[in-house]
Amino acid sequence: MNRRSKIRCISFAAAGAAALLAWAIGATATVNEQNRQLAAARELALNRTCEYLEQIDTDLTKAAYAATPAMLGRLADDMHANAAGAKSTLSALDGGDHTLWNLYKFLSQVSAYTAGLQKKTAAGGVISEEERVTVRQLQGYAKDLKRRFSYMLDLLNAGYFSFDAIDRELKQTEDASEQMVSYLGAVHEAEDDLEDFPTLIYDGPFSDHITEKTSALLEGAAEISLQDAKRIAAKAMGAEEKDVYADGPTGGKLASYAFHAAGGRRAAVTVRGGYPAYVLSDAVAGETRLSALDAVSRGAERLRELGYADMVSTYYAIEDGICTVNFALRQDGYVIYPDLIKVRVSLTDGAVVAMDASDYLMNHIQRTVPAPLLTEEEAAEKARHLNVLRTKKAVIPTEGGGEQFAYELLCEDDAGKHVLIYVDTVTGEEDDILILLYADGGTLTK
C-alpha cells in the first residue's frame, strides 16, 4: 500500500470513527431527552394525581353532610370525573400496567357508592347513619392516600428519590401494589407530624367568585370627568387633591381612572358612576395593637365613607399584622355574598391599607327578593342528621354565573366539625356545602 492509499484509509477510518461517535452522542442525547420527557410526564402525572385525590377527599367529606338527591348528584358527578382522572394519571405513573390495581379498585368503588346513594335519595329513600359512616370511612382512605401521594411529591421535588428507582423496586417484587403502598406507608410514618392542609379559600365562602358577565351597575351609570375622579381618589387615599397624580385610564369591564400619591398610595375610580374600585398602599404593619373586631369596625366605617353602605362582615383572616375582612351587602335580611368588598386593615393603627370593590361593582344589581316557600324550620330539617347551630338567609353565586336565594345553615357534626349547608328557599334543595376550618388567623372554608 503506497503512502497515498495509507493516508486515504486513515482518513476514511477517522471519518468513520467521527461518524460513529456523532451517532453515539446523538443516540445518547435522544435517550436522555426521552428520559427527561418521561420523567416530566410522570412528575406531571403525580401532581395531577394529588389534585384529583384532593378533590375526592373534599367531595366525600361533603357527601357525608349531604341529604338531597340534587346535591348528591352533583357530588357523584364530580367524583366520577375525578376518579376517572386519577385512574388516567395513575396509569401514567405505573406505565399503563395497572400494577396499582388496589388504587384503581378504590377509585371505582368511591364513584359507584356515591352514585348509589344519589339513586336511593332520588327514589325517596333516606341515607342511613350506617351509610354515612361508610362515606366517612371512604373519606378517611382518600385523605390518607392524598397525604401519602402529596408527601411523595414533596420528596420528589426535594430530590430524595427518582422514578427510575421506584420502577426498579416495582419490577423486583411480584406484588407491586403492595410494595408501593408499603413504600408510601414508610414515608408517611417517617413524618408523623406532617399536617394535611387542603386547598383553602381565604376570607370565607364565595370570596373569589369569577363571572364573565358585564357590570349592570356601571352600564347604567353616567361617565364622570377626570377631575371629579381625582377628587374621589384623593378622598379614598386620604390625600390632598393637589398631591394626587393621574396615571391614565384603564380598560376592561371596570374601566377606571387610575391615580397615585406619595407613600406608595394608589387608587382607581370607575369612569362610569365614579365608584372607588380599589385603594392600595405600601404601608407595612408594625406592632399589633388592635383586635380583629377593631379591624372590622374600622373597615365598615371606611366603606361607609366611600359610599358603600349596608355592608356587613362575613369572614376575616389575619396575617403579618394585617386583617383582611370580607364585607357583603345586606338587603331585606339577606347577606348578598356576590356583592363582596375586601378590606385590609392594619392592626397597628387601624388604617385601611387596601380595598377591593371589584366583585361588588361587577355583581351588584337591584334584586327582587322572592318570598321563601320554605321556613327556617323546614330548611333545618334538611340537615336533621347534624346539629344546626344557626340559620340565616343569603344570596350565593352559582357556577353558571347566576344567583340563588338560600338559607345558610351553620351545622356541627358529632365530632365537633362545622359545616355550612345552603338550602334553596324555594325548592328546598341543597345548593352548596362548605366545610369550615378554624385557624389562628381566622376562618377558612373548602
Confidence (pLDDT) at 199: 25
- Please state which of the ranges 29-33, 186-190, 299-303 shows the lowest mean pLDDT: 186-190
pTM exceeds cut of 0.85: no
| Sequence-distant (≥ 6) Cβ neighbours of residue 144 within 8 angstroms | 188
* 3-state helix vs strand vs coil in the chain, percent to 5: 45, 25, 30
229: confidence class by pLDDT, cuts 50, 70, 90: very high
- Predicted local distance difference test score (pLDDT) of residue 303: 96
Which of the two residues, 16 and 129, has the higher pLDDT score? Answer: 129
Query: Cβ contacts of residue 88 below 8 Å, gap of 6+?
Result: none
Please report which confidence band the pLDDT of residue 189 belongs to, taking 50, 70 and 90 as the band edges: very low
The reported pLDDT for the residue numbered 218 is 92
- Determine the Cα–Cα distance for residues 430 and 422; give it in Å rounded to an integer: 6
For the cut 50, the answer to whether the pLDDT of residue 2 exceeds it is no
Lowest average pLDDT, out of 176-190, 218-232, 422-436, goes to 176-190
- For residue 63, the model assigns a pLDDT of 85
Cβ contact 347:289 at 8 Å? yes
Report pLDDT for 226.
94
Average pLDDT score over the chain: 76
Direct distance between the N- and C-terminal alpha carbons of the chain, in angstroms, rounded to an integer: 85
Residue 15 has pLDDT above 70, yes or no: no
Contact 373, 426 (CB under 8 A): yes
Q: For residue 315, report the phi and psi dihedrals to the nearest 5 degrees.
A: -145, 160
Q: Which three cell numbers stand for residue 205?
A: 365562602
Contact 318/292 with Cβ under 8 angstroms? yes
Among 418, 421, 422, 420, which Cα is nearest to 438's?
Answer: 418
DSSP state, residue 369: P
What integer pLDDT is reported at residue 142 of this predicted model? 83
Contact 143, 195 (CB under 8 A): no
pLDDT at residue 203 greater than cutoff 50: no
Looking at residue 107, what is its pLDDT?
79
Ranges for all domains in the chain classified under CATH 3.10.450: 376-445
400 confidence band (pLDDT: 50, 70, 90) = low
Residue 213 confidence (pLDDT) above 50: yes
> What is the b/e burial string over 2-13, where b = at least 16 CB atoms within 10 angstroms of the residue's CB?
eeeeeeeeeeee
The C-alpha torsion from 176 through 182 and 183 to 188, rounded to 10°, is 150
Q: Is 294 exposed, middle or buried (0-12, 13-18, 19+ CB in 10 A)?
A: middle
Residue-wise pLDDT for 411-446, tens only, equals 998 888 888 999 999 888 888 888 876 655 555 554
| Residue that the C-alpha cell 373569589 belongs to | 208
Is the pLDDT confidence value at 245 over 90? Answer: yes
- Average pLDDT (148-153) is 79
Q: Which amino acid is at 372?
A: P
Query: Out of 119-123, 135-139, 170-174, 217-221, which region has the weakest mean confidence (pLDDT)?
Result: 170-174
The H-or-E segment that residue 86 falls in is helix 69-93
The region that residue 123 occupies, defined by phi over 0 for left and psi between -120 and 50 for alpha, beta otherwise, is alpha
Contact 184, 149 (CB under 8 A): yes
Q: Work out the number of other CB atoms within 10 angstroms of the CB of residue 205.
A: 24
**pLDDT over 70 percentage in the chain:** 73
Per-residue confidence (pLDDT) for residue 206, from 0 to 100? 57
8 Å CB contact between 135 and 60:
yes
Is residue 46 predicted with pLDDT exceeding 70?
yes
| Nearest alpha-carbon partner for 420 in 393, 398, 384, 445 | 445
Confidence of residue 178 (pLDDT cuts 50, 70, 90): very low
Fold of 376-445: Nuclear Transport Factor 2; Chain: A, (3.10.450)
User: Within 10 Å of residue 55's Cβ, how many Cβ atoms?
Assistant: 21
CB atoms within 10 A of CB 397: 21
DSSP for 383-408? Answer: TTTSEEEEEEEEEEE-TTS-EEEEEE
Distance, CA of 184 to CA of 102 (rounded, Å): 14
Residues counted in the chain: 446
Q: How would residue 5 be classed by pLDDT, with cut points 50, 70 and 90? A: very low
d(Cα 57, Cα 60) in Å, to the nearest integer? 5
DSSP string covering 312-345: EEEEEEEETTEEEEEEEEEETTEEEEEEEEEEEE
Joined together, the cell numbers standing for residue 386 give: 347534624
| The pLDDT of residue 137 | 80
pLDDT tens, 322-374?
888 999 999 999 999 999 999 999 999 898 988 999 889 989 988 888 888 99
Name the band, by pLDDT with cuts 50, 70 and 90, for residue 36: low
Residue 190 has pLDDT above 50, yes or no: no
More confident residue, 102 or 198: 102
| pLDDT-wise least confident of 294-298, 374-378, 428-432 | 428-432
- How far, rounded to the nearest angstrom, does the alpha carbon of residue 431 sit from its chain's CA centroid? 18
Displacement of CA 159 from its chain's centroid (Å): 27
Q: How far apart are CA 336 and CA 103, in angstroms?
A: 42
- Taking residues 193-205, report their average pLDDT: 32
Separation in Å, CA 141 to CA 48, 81, 145: 18, 18, 6
Give, in order, the Cα–Cα distances in Å from 403 to each of 206, 406, 424, 432.
12, 10, 11, 12
What pLDDT, on the 0 to 100 scale, is given for residue 309? 92
